[in-house]
Amino acid sequence: MEMTYTYRKVLNKGFTPCWYDTDHGTRVAWIEKEGRKWMTVRFATGERKRKPLSDKRYMTPFKSKRG
């Protein structure tokens, strides 16, 4: 059984939700962990990737309309 992440669950776990602009469109993701050079990003599909911190320029903070 796969866990479904909601906006509130992501915030309560201390992660940072964001829109991630890729070559194939914009995806919903959140930053799980940040280091000196790398960060761990998880996408809404459950896929987890290790990305360089310089990729933050492609990310826009995700704000819920409900707050």
| 7-50 confidence digits (pLDDT tens) | 889 999 999 999 999 898 999 999 999 999 999 999 988 899 99
Q: pTM, whole model, 2 decimals? A: 0.82
Cα 52 from Cα 55, distance rounded (Å) = 6
C-alpha span between 32 and 14 (Å, rounded): 8
What's residue 2's pLDDT?
66
Question: How far is Cα 21 from Cα 26, in angstroms, rounded to an integer?
Answer: 4
Contact assessment for residue 32 and residue 15, using Cβ atoms and an 8 Å cutoff: yes
